[in-house]
Amino acid sequence: MHSHDDDDHSHLTDTEARVRALESLLSEKGYLDSAAVDEIVQTYETKIGPQNGAHVVAKAWCNPEFNAWLKDDATAAIHSLGYTSRQGEHMVAVFNSIDTHHLIVCTLCSCYPWSVLGLPPTWYKSPPFRSRAVIEPRSVLADFGLELPASTKIEVHDSTAEIRYLVIPQRPDNTESMNETDLAKLVTRNAMIGTALVKAPGATS
Amino acid sequence: MNDVNLSSLPDMVLVDDEPVFNEPWEAQAFAMVINLHQKNAFSWSEWATALSAEIHSGEQRSYYQHWLHALENLVASKSLTTSTALVARKNEWHEAAARTPHGDPIELNR
């Protein structure tokens, strides 16, 4: 395990604080429309930060040894692919199955492992989403169009300063002939936080 | 976005005609410039000039660090705010972060 000095409170880099200073000052004065800024950012939310997690997921599907390593020590397995984040956070991979579906919440903080997962979606940052996801995850997932069988248990994971989660979705059917590179293209940010499943190419549901 | 010519900016990296960001704050800084321009806080050529000045300042910085410095300078020279106010507000954000438990949204006291 690692430790750093901001384990129990939030932390902004100087750059992040400068960005927030500009945004808060200029929107208070009416020069900037925060909602419009969020909307512009949202346009790019899936393009921000390398979504290295997709590679991790595809490798786990194709390579049983890597899969086992990921289960055992996700931090080391992910780093072995050259993906490190600035805070060197401890990563845990949780594996979806027919029996269990994993959903990750948190992400309000600068500790979100965006270098692995991409940027968190804007709706993730709303406190109502977070509390509802914990209380009634099944209905939250249904809101995203993800209806899980009643027999599938849903586990909700709240990332902490110490542990960040990555969901390894189930490999879709009929993808046996696909290689790692092509599989990685199927893996979306939402699948890696547990609000979507991975679909085979051409699948409609 | 339509009236904004990204390719007119010096050294702007576009992939499939869209900007690429390495970190979330970069997208935020990008979006602020677009919105300030949309709201007529400055013209696009004023922005291009400000950004160019930073890029050619000789400072070794990443592209979006130049972008952020240029934005700070331009809003000050347009008297939208002052450098002093920006530094004070930056420190308030650091203080806000320090008193915010991990996982809670960081908010200013006001």
pLDDT by residue (tens digit) across B2-40? 457 787 788 777 776 777 787 888 989 999 999 999 999
Is the minimum CB–CB distance between A142 and chain B shorter than 8 Å?
A: no
Which of A4, A11, A13, A20 should one mutate to test binding to chain B, selecting the residue with the greatest count of B CBs within 10 A?
A20
Q: Considering CB atoms only, which of A16, A48, A159 is closest to B21?
A: A48
B61-82: buried (b, 16+ CB within 10 Å) or exposed (e) per residue?
eebbbbbbbbbbebbeeeebbe
pLDDT by residue (tens digit) across A22-53? 999 999 999 999 989 988 887 777 666 666 88
Instruction: Tell me the chain A residues in contact with residue B105 when contact means C-beta distances shorter than 8 Å.
Output: 108, 125, 127
Is the minimum CB–CB distance between A96 and chain B shorter than 8 Å?
A: no
Instruction: Tell me the chain A residues in contact with residue B27 when contact means C-beta distances shorter than 8 Å.
Output: 41, 44-45, 48, 119
Q: Which of 3.30.360.10, 2.60.40.1080, 3.90.320.10, 3.90.330.10 would CATH assign to domain A49-193?
A: 3.90.330.10
| Predicted complex: ipTM over 0.85 | yes
Polymer length of chain A: 205
The structural domains of chain A, with segments of one domain joined by +, span 14-43, 49-193
Residue type, A174: N
Q: Which residue numbers of A are catalytic? A: 106, 109-111
Chain position carrying tokens 């992910």: A78
pLDDT by residue (tens digit) across B30-68? 999 999 999 999 999 999 999 999 999 999 999 999 999
Which segments of chain A have a pLDDT < 70?
1-8, 46-51, 84-89, 106-112, 122-123, 125-126, 161, 203-205
Identify the helix (H) or strand (E) that includes residue B14: strand B14-15
Instruction: Give the pair of three-digit tokens for residue A122.
Output: 């804007």
Dump the DSSP string for chain A. ----TTSSB----HHHHHHHHHHHHHHHTTSS-HHHHHHHHHHTGGGBS--THHHHHHHHHH-HHHHHHHHH-HHHHHHHTT---TT--EEEEEE--SSEEEEEE---STTS-HHHH-SPPGGGG-HHHHHHHHH-HHHHHHHTT----TTSEEEEEE--SSEEEEEEPPPPTT-TT--HHHHHTT--HHHHHTSS----TT---
